Amino acid sequence: MAELFCVGLSHKSAPIEVREKVAVPEEDQAGLLQKVAALPGVSEAMLLSTCNRVELFAAVAGHESAEAVAAQLREKGGDAVRPHLLQHQGEAAVVHLFRVAASLDSMVVGEPQILGQVKDAFSSSVAAGTVGGELTRACEAAFAAAKRVRTETGIGANAVSMASAAVELARKIFGDLSGRTVLVVGVGPMSEICARHLGSEGAHVRVANRTLERAQALVKELGGKAEARPFTDVAKLLTEADVVVTSTASPKPIFNVELVQPALKARKGRPLFLVDLAVPRDVDPAVHQLSNVFAYNVDDLERVVKENLAARSSEAARAEVLIAEEVARFIRSKTARDAVPILGQLRRRADSIAISEAEKTLAVLGEGLSLRQRQSVEAMAKAIVNKLLHAPTARLRTAGEAGPEEAARVAAAAAELFGLADEGPADDGGAPEAAPIPITRAEGQK
């Protein structure tokens, strides 16, 4: 009987110089998956490869098969990776998959990208032909659990980077940032990240730098959705901007009282939000005391990030409870399915009848039907089958949870009633009840 197995390493178990030894180039991933799925006792395989983790998930028949899968990564990484490899089998592997998808195992807990990366890994493994019922069911349940975590907890609600914290503070002052004017001074990495965040909120971004060509280059990096301005325009731009993000290498403050106070008069009471990401600071501390000025420096933003991380930690504890519930639900379902393999036979027989009858009906109706009408006929056939099977399927699962004797008794009755006795047992007790369907990535980027 197949069970889930996982072997790999992550940012928690290995430094980057070790992780990169087992990184698998995209063009080699399908070959590795097919090699793993062809190992004795291994029926399915999925590879999750990101900058923070390289993990192989597989459906294995026992300890020897699991060791064979683990050997693939040991062989690839050599002796350097052996102390860093972590293994999970059975329920522990399910828990790990669910926690990874829900971002509870991420470097920044609650970050949304990992769910999209797991979905990508699943889709790539389906395309490689190495995914069947075990991984499909486990991944779909993990995705549903991750969605529940994001919906029912605030694990992803608070900003945990300097740039996102700056955007969060700007929202608190101005509300909707769409249409607001943002002045970015300096073209360093932090300036670029802030400009991207604020631009994605619909703000009009202007970039000023002592070297205009570098400002123009950053605007190009931003996809042209910004405007490059010479540094000599900063005083004028200050009267127009709602948000100023500054991150230069200037040895002394750029924004002092002498520069900001005249701009405030011209602004006629409109608030000015200053984000100073520079060290040494670009904004003179005296500016913080001016009316209608909301100024934050690196230390201020770091305090916001720490508070948000603490809040996420609290939400992560709630998320762990939800994951435990979802894992328990999945394990109960799998236990029932494994105990009553006739469930798979029944589903395949029913699906086959639905498809056959729909095809006969469509053949009688001829070619005049629209695509929507044909799909309606097929959907109706499946809906009838699903409704007819709902009660017996639920009874079989309940019997599976009650124990092997009850499972055998009810399964024998179902086999006789539905004429399944002569078909023999399901192939592995975990055969897919339906062909796996690639899941389109919904969020995040690899």
Cα–Cα dist 96/10, whole Å = 12
- Tokens for 410, please give them: 């009810």
Cα–Cα dist 250/67, whole Å = 57
CB 278 within 8 A of CB 253: no
Number of H helices, E strands in the chain: 15, 10
- Tokens for 111, please give them: 């970050």
CB 334 within 8 A of CB 426: no
Q: Which of 258, 248, 181 is nearest to 211 (CA)?
A: 248
| Active-site entry in 6, 51, 139, 194 | 51
Q: Which residue has the tokens 């799925």?
A: 37
CA 422: distance to chain centroid? 44
What is the biggest distance separating any 2 CA atoms in the chain, rounded to whole angstroms?
92
How distant, in Å, are the alpha carbons of 166, 231, 246, 280, 359 from that of 188?
16, 15, 10, 14, 62
Is 51 a catalytic site residue? Answer: yes
Cα–Cα dist 206/44, whole Å = 51
How distant, in Å, are the alpha carbons of 11, 57, 61, 82 from that of 22?
13, 15, 25, 11
Angle at 254 between CA 249 and CA 255, to 5 degrees: 140
CB 315 within 8 A of CB 152: no
Contacts of 156 (CB under 8 A, 6+ apart): 103, 110, 111, 112, 150, 312
Rg (CA), the chain: 29
- Tokens for 376, please give them: 């309606």
SS3 state at 45: strand
Q: What share of the chain is helix, strand, coil (3-state, %, to 5)?
A: 60, 15, 30
How distant, in Å, are the alpha carbons of 216, 250, 254, 283, 420 from that of 245?
17, 14, 12, 10, 70
Catalytic machinery residues: 51
